[in-house]
Amino acid sequence: MAVDLFDLTGRRALVTGSSQGIGLALAHGLSAAGAEIVLNGRDETKLARAESAIAGSRRLAFDVTDHAAARAAVDRFEAEIGPIDILVNNAGMQHRAPLEEFPDEAFQRLLQTNIASVFNVGQACARHMIGRRAGKIINIASVQSALARPSIAPYTATKGAVANLTKGMATDWAKRGLQVNAIAPGYFDTPLNAALVADPAFSAWLEKRTPAGRWGKVEELVGACIFLASAASSFVNGHVLYVDGGITASL
């Protein structure tokens, strides 16, 4: 049956930054589709709470911005527990400031958290996936991969890089049996956007600017993630799937 193409039973998925927000929602969704979930984050308390909420999940705590730590953690997990079949590179951060006053230290943190982490964990997992000639990598990009707004130019640069790194990963690894794609969320009600959600003027602007006329709900990203993680997307590679209520389609 066609629905079987979306079944993730017997697959194991590592979701970075999965203690809250989009990462946690995707972890729940992949679990509901049958996958065993491996949670990652830096806050042990939040991770423990997420683990207790997702049956059969486990934690793999490491700093995604540390290349050596990511490789060691993934290598150890593969050797001691088993294969990671699906990677969702979700870890990310935001910092808002006028570009002419943007702190260098914040810019460096954005580069490490939003771009280097995708390379670090993606490479660590791909080395094992290549040996099996099978694997799914899903990077979380953004509407800011294609658009920009005031006060977030460095974030926009990092998400543009995630979109192009996704294409580069697919170009290198598709012939090795991997599918590497990205999901580009629009404006979703998450902890990362809490300040914007609380701003009536911004919400009013967003509702007018977005054809769907509202903020997205994190659960609305789950279908795209299951599709890209499953056999249903076996010939989809290097694609950036916008889930944005139409904001990138309309002026």
Catalytic residue among 102, 107, 119, 155: 155
| Length in residues, the chain | 251
Q: What does the pLDDT read at residue 191? A: 83
Which two three-digit tokens encode residue 250? 């309309």
* pLDDT in 10s for each residue of the chain, 251 residues: 788 999 999 999 999 999 999 999 999 999 999 999 999 998 889 999 999 999 999 999 999 999 999 999 999 999 999 999 999 999 999 999 999 999 999 999 999 999 999 999 999 999 999 999 999 999 999 999 999 999 999 999 999 999 999 999 999 999 999 999 999 999 999 887 888 999 999 999 999 999 999 999 999 999 999 999 999 999 999 999 999 999 999 98
Q: What does the pLDDT read at residue 130? A: 98
Helix (H), strand (E) at residue 37? strand 36-39
Q: Rounded to two decimals, what is the model's pTM?
A: 0.96
Distance in Å from the first CA to the final CA of the chain: 40
Residue 85: Cβ within 10 Å count: 21
The dotted CATH code for 2-243 is: 3.40.50.720
Are 168 and 181 a contacting pair, CB within 8 Å?
no
Q: What does the pLDDT read at residue 142? A: 98
155 noted as active-site residue: yes
Q: What does the pLDDT read at residue 27? A: 98
Are 136 and 92 a contacting pair, CB within 8 Å?
no
Angle between helices 222-229 and 21-32 (to 10 degrees): 60
CA–CA separation, 187 and 203 (whole Å)? 10
CA–CA separation, 230 and 80 (whole Å)? 25
Q: What does the pLDDT read at residue 193? A: 87
